[in-house]
Structures are given as structure tokens and as C-alpha cells.
A and B are shown apart, each in its own frame.
Chain A
């Protein structure tokens, strides 16, 4: 069986072009050069149908960029994304449109991702009418059904986004994505902005939708406890590179990569009381100027000389588990 989504050697660089003054300075022999941010660096992973994959990393690690490339919002610099076995760039126009509809994205900020001047019925109903999933006459009913699916009363369809609370707005965002009958949802920090009690409601909604609609999720988050709760498998990123992937239970029981272990140690938990924190030292390096070799080596307690020179390859260390660390060769 081919995976529903396969990402291979996906890379995204953001280049800050030189302005006029910079170009002239360069012509005159200055050492000014274009700045390149390696947001995502040769990332490869797969997502099977019906699976929930959690993509975890700290800010600036490229997890959102990766999600946006998969959702088709950002074009990759290099590498391939295949959906149901067909590579994005080799799709026909029709296949491309179908894939674009089948992969929907839910954004972090429910305040910024909804047009404040559109009524909810327009926000949710616009795309399905255009794509022929419903008609103008049927729209009101279709929107109502979609709203009820995410736990919003259909009587609210004439309201504007500012008339809703944060949790309700996030439900509108989810309803908008569901309205075009997707198969794959990319959730980018979809619950990070919500209060704890509302967070639980939305997490439960995601889990219900998964069973009801047979959805597949890529769940991007920095919050390990949320990801642990809903994901079948985890992908850990650090500074643009995937450092480890493993089934959730195995990863939490026995993390392989030193960064994963550090991350798991730092996560505050209800059952970790009065702990004497022993933090990982150092800062996250700038993606403008990442350290050579393994990106984690300046902060890693096990760093060897080899780590400073050679980029570790992401390879299988046990069935279903991949890790990129030189320690596994020893």
C-alpha cells in the first residue's frame, strides 16, 4: 500500500535578496551576500491513511513551513511531495485541483485566519459552492450541517467572526476546512491559542471527526502533551531537519535522539512535582547560520568531534523508527 502522503527530501530556503545599495556594494567588492534561511532541509516522511502524525519542534524549526508546503500554500525549493502516490508536480490540472481540495489546513490564530468582514455562512459556504459540492440554493442547509458537525448552532450562520469566542472561532476555521470534504488536514498549532478547558473540547472534536469522516491528520505543535494525546506517530524536527520519527508510545518510552530526550525532560507535566529542573543548556541557533554537522551538537551532552563535521543521516534504527544521530553508529 502506498502512503497517503509521502514527502521526500523536501527543502525550503527563504532568500533575502540584496537591495540596490547591497548590490552596488557587492559589485565594488564588498563581502555582502544574500542571506539564506534554510527553513526546511531535506525532510522526508510518510503519513498513512487514517493516521495522525504529530510534527513537533520549537519555534523556528521549520514545522509550519513544512506544513504549508504540504498544504500547497508555499512552493518547495526542492524535493517531492506525493499525495496518494502521485507527485505534486506531475499531476494533471484536475488531479492537482482534487489534491488541493483534499488537503486542507487549519491555522493557529482563529483571530487572524477568518475574514472579519464576512459572515460565517460566507466563510464556510464560499468554497463548496465554487467547487460544486453544493449549490447556492442548498448553501444555507449545507453550511448549517457543517456547523453542527463542529458543534456550532446553525442559527449563528449570519454572524460575523468577532461575535464569537476564541474556541468558537477555531470551530469556524475547522468547519471551513471540512466544508470542501477533505481527506487530509494539516493542523498548524490549531489549539495553541485556546484556554485549557476549550482546548479539551477542540481536541475531542478533532478525535470525533477523525472517526466520523475517516480523516488523516498532520498535527503540528510545540506542545508535546497535546501531541502525545492524539498522535499515532511523531516526527521531531530541530532547526529545519527531522531528527527522529517513531510511534508515539515508543518515542515517549525510549527516545533515541538526544534532542528528543531533552525535549521530553523539559515538558512540564502534572505528575512531575517539585522537580529540580535540569535544563538543556544554550539557545536555539539562528537558522540563518546553523552550526555545521549535526545542528544539535552545540547543545548536546554527547557531542563528539564527528558531530561537528558530519551531518548525521536519518536512518532506520528499529522497525518503524528513524533517527539521525551519530551515536547510533557506535
Chain B
């Protein structure tokens, strides 16, 4: 493997849900690359397909959902084509996922040490049990859990919410994966606890070279953490680029609207910019650009499918009328 190859390359991924009411294209042609040690923020509102993208990468989409197209190249190997056996080898070993609710990862009736040792041994039979325990202990210490030796013997319910999420992160780290997909892992946590988790996540990527996909609805979290950002709307990445570029000079009207609607420092007492209307149902998307009904720049051209263009260097945008005047400033 050479260094220029991305650790993970998602190409034109399509995941559809075949429901009674029709086909919902939850992920509709999503592409991105992540290099070693890179943190990418995958941002979107509820129903934008950001979580399904994460699940599709790791092969956890349940029926009626199905990955119907595209490639997920992990160090060159296509995970979409990989069989269940191969996915089991990779999952929790080379590719790991952290869920919003840590109890999705943790078994409530098993002690933390049982679960962690199992995770190590499942992927590497040559490790002795003591060695696995040592690695579990180290992983807990790494994510900032005090007195890890004692905490190994605890059950998940004996941890607080923030500590549980740390345990889930420690489990994800056990086999030093190449890619971690984190699906809103701090959304349910308090601000000070969120700060601690973000700190650990950032440190780990910098130290171990793990690539991280951070899925969130909170632009402000991504602003402090990520190197690059992909903004999703109705199953598509509508804008993608370097973090600073996108946040300072967004060009897609949805990104512009989203950033304008975040309250904060300079907005006190003023009206916030509001995107009119609401997220459309995936079953009833208009033909062409999915954002057209809420977009201030809409015209006849938007009824055609917007392809990926590069209106600015290093930026992928799906829009016929990008805000280029802002980007030029």
C-alpha cells in the first residue's frame, strides 16, 4: 500500500430502502475519500442519509435497505462485494463503528472485561488471554477512564453515560483499526463530557493515524474537530471540501443557509437566517435537485440532476447556481 492511496474511498455509493410506499433513496450517489489520520465531518439534518452512509460502509444495512450500487474501497478492497465472512473479519478489527447510544455496542449482562477480551480474541487467536486483558486495560486508560483495572470488572450499567461512551470508543480502538466511523457519539452527552470525548478522539487520530468519519448534525462540533467536511442533503453530498473553506466560503445554497441558521456569537438579538420549509420526504423527492423547493436561487435548470462540479478549487458541489461571489472574496 502506498501513502497516496486513501485509506477509505467511497465511490458513488447508493443505498435504497424498498418500503411499501416506494423506494427511498437514502444514500444516492455519495463519494468521498479519507486519507490516513484524517478526520472528516459528515454533516446533515435528520433524514439526510448520513447515518445510513456509515452503516453502508461497514455493511450493517438491514432489509428493507440494500446497497444497490457503488464501491467502498478499503485499502483497495471493495467492501460492497466482500462476503459476510470477510466483513466479520474486518468489522471491529480494521473498520470500527461508534454509535450514538453506547448501549448499542455494549452487552448489558456481560462485564466490560469479558466484552473487550472477546473483541481482541475474536480477531487474533494468537493472543493470550492475559495479553488481551492488558490491551483492554490500556485501551480504557487511553480514553481517559480512571483506575482501568477496577473498571474492567464493572458492568455497563455501573458507568455514567459519558464513561459508557468512552468504553464503546475503547472497544472500537482495541484492534487499532484503520477507519473509525463515529455516528453522533456525543449528541446525548453534556457539553463538558462532549469536550472530553472530542479531545480523546482528536488525540487518537493524530497519534495512531486512524482515519475518522465523524457523523453529526452539529456543525459547531465539526468545526473544532475535522479536517474536511461533507454536507449531506436528502441522500446526497451537496458540498465537500476543506473545513475552513467550506465554513468560511460556502457555495451551495443549502450550506449557506445552514451556516446562517446557526446561532452564536455575532447574532445576538438579530433574526437568524432561516431556510424555508422542511426536509422533503425521500419518497417524494422532486426530479432534479432535492433542495429546489427551499432554495432562493431556484430556476428552470434545477429540474435537471445537478452533477458534481468544482466551482472552486478542491471543492465538490452539486448545484447549478453556486454562491461564487462569496467564495471569490
Q: Which of A's residues lie within 8 Å of B, judged by CB?
A: 58-59, 165, 167-168, 195-201, 203-204, 207, 222, 224-226, 228-230, 248-249, 252, 262-263, 265-281, 283-284
Pick the residue among A228, A263, A271, A280 that contacts B268 (CB under 8 A).
A228
Cβ of B296 within 8 Å of any chain A Cβ, yes or no, is no
Given known contacts A277-B202, A279-B192, is B258 in contact with A197 (CB within 8 Å)? Answer: yes
Closest to B243 in A: A273
Kindly identify which residue among A203, A274, A280 contacts B192, using a CB–CB cutoff of 8 Å.
Answer: A280
- B residues less than 8 Å from A165 (CB atoms): 278
Supplied contacts A268-B223, A279-B195, 12 more A-B pairs, CB within 8 Å: A58-B190, A58-B191, A59-B190, A197-B274, A197-B278, A200-B260, A229-B269, A262-B192, A263-B192, A268-B220, A270-B223, A277-B224
Decide yes or no: A278 and B199 within 8 Å by CB, A197-B257, A262-B192 being known contacts: yes
Q: Give A248 to B218 CA distance when docked, in angstroms.
A: 23
A203 CA / B261 CA spacing, docked (Å)? 10
Which residue of chain A lies nearest to B268 when distances are taken between CB atoms in the complex? A229
Contact status A277-B198, CB under 8 Å: yes
The answer to whether B190 and A277 have CB atoms under 8 Å apart is no
Nearest CB to that of A271 among chain B residues? B265
- 17 cross-chain CB contacts under 8 A: A58-B190, A58-B191, A195-B217, A196-B262, A197-B275, A200-B275, A203-B272, A225-B265, A266-B191, A269-B264, A269-B265, A270-B259, A277-B195, A277-B196, A279-B192, A279-B199, A283-B193
Which B226-285 residues have a C-beta within 8 angstroms of A? 227, 243-244, 247, 257-265, 267-269, 271-275, 278-279
Contacts of A267 in B (CB 8 A): 191, 220
Total inter-chain residue pairs, C-beta < 8 Å? 143
Residues of A near B45 (CB, < 8 A) are 195-198
The residue in A195, A203, A276 that gathers the most chain B C-beta atoms within 10 A of its C-beta is A195
Partner of A196, one of B195, B219, B271: B219
Residues on A with beta carbons closer than 8 Å to the beta carbon of B218: 196, 268
Look across to chain B and name the residue whose beta carbon is closest to the beta carbon of A201: B274
Chain A proximity of B291: nearest CB distance (Å): 11
Select B221's contact among A198, A263, A268, A278, beta carbons within 8 Å: A268
Check: B46 CB closer than 8 A to any chain A CB: yes
Nearest residue (CB) in B for A269 is B220
Q: Shortest Cβ distance from A310 into chain B, in angstroms?
A: 24
Residue of chain A at shortest CB distance from B263: A229
Partner of A283, one of B163, B194, B263, B265: B163
**Those 10 A-B pairs whose CB atoms lie nearest each other, nearest first:** A200-B261, A229-B263, A277-B199, A266-B195, A268-B220, A58-B190, A279-B196, A195-B45, A279-B195, A200-B272
Interface residues in B, total, Cβ within 8 A: 46
Shortest C-beta distance, B49 to chain A (Å), equals 14
A residues near B224, Cβ cutoff 8 Å: 268-269, 272-275, 277
- Distance of A266 Cα from B194 Cα, bound (Å): 8
Partner of A229, one of B162, B194, B272: B272
Distance of A237 from chain B, by nearest CB (Å): 13
CB A299 to nearest CB in B, in angstroms, measures: 8
Within the complex, what minimum Cβ distance (angstroms) separates A85 from chain B?
28
| Whole-angstrom CA separation of A68 from B278 in the bound complex | 31
B258 contacts A222, C-beta separation under 8 Å: no
Question: Among residues 48 to 84 in chain B, which have CB atoms less than 8 Å away from a CB atom of chain A?
Answer: none
Assess A204 versus B271: contact at CB under 8 Å? Given A270-B264, A279-B199: yes
Q: How far is the CB of B255 from chain A (nearest CB, A)?
A: 11
- Partner of A276 from B202, B258, B267 at Cβ < 8 Å: B202
Q: Does B4 contact A (CB under 8 A)?
A: no
B-side contacts of A279, CB under 8 Å: 192, 195-196, 198-199
On chain A, the residues within 8 Å of B263 by CB distance are 199-200, 203, 225-226, 228-230
B329 interface contact, C-beta 8 A? no
Asked if A195 and B279 make an inter-chain contact with CB atoms under 8 angstroms apart, the answer reads yes
**Is B126's CB within 8 Å of the partner chain A?**
no
Which residues of chain A are within 8 angstroms of B225 by Cβ–Cβ distance?
Answer: 274
B160 within 8 A of A: yes
CA distance A270 to B218 in the complex (A): 10
How distant is the Cα of A248 from the Cα of B198 in the complex, in angstroms? 26
Residues of chain B contacted by A200 (CB below 8 angstroms): 260-263, 272-275
State whether A204 and B267 are in contact (beta carbons under 8 Å apart), knowing that A195-B45, A266-B195, A272-B224 are contacts in the complex.
Answer: no
Which residues on the A side are within 8 Å of B162 (C-beta)?
Answer: 283
Instruction: Identify which of B196, B257, B263 gathers the most chain A CB atoms within 10 Å of its CB.
Output: B263
Q: Give Cα distance in the complex from A277 to B269, angstroms.
A: 29
Please, which residues of chain B bring their CB within 8 A of the CB of A198? 45, 278
- Expressed in whole angstroms, the Cα–Cα distance for A266 and B160 within the complex equals 19
| B261: chain A residues within 8 A (beta carbon) | 196-197, 199-200
Contact partner of A222 (CB less than 8 A), chosen from B160, B190, B267, B273, is B190
Would you call A225 and B160 a contact (CB within 8 A)? no
- The CA-CA distance from A185 to B218 in the complex, in Å, is 27
A225 to B46, CA, bound (A): 20
Q: Whole-angstrom distance between the alpha carbons of A263 and B191 in the complex?
A: 7
Q: Is the CB of B223 within 8 A of A269?
A: yes
Give the distance in Å from the alpha carbon of A165 to the alpha carbon of B263 in the complex: 22
Bound complex: CA of A274 vs CA of B242, how far in Å? 12
When C-beta atoms are compared, the residue in chain A nearest to B202 turns out to be A277
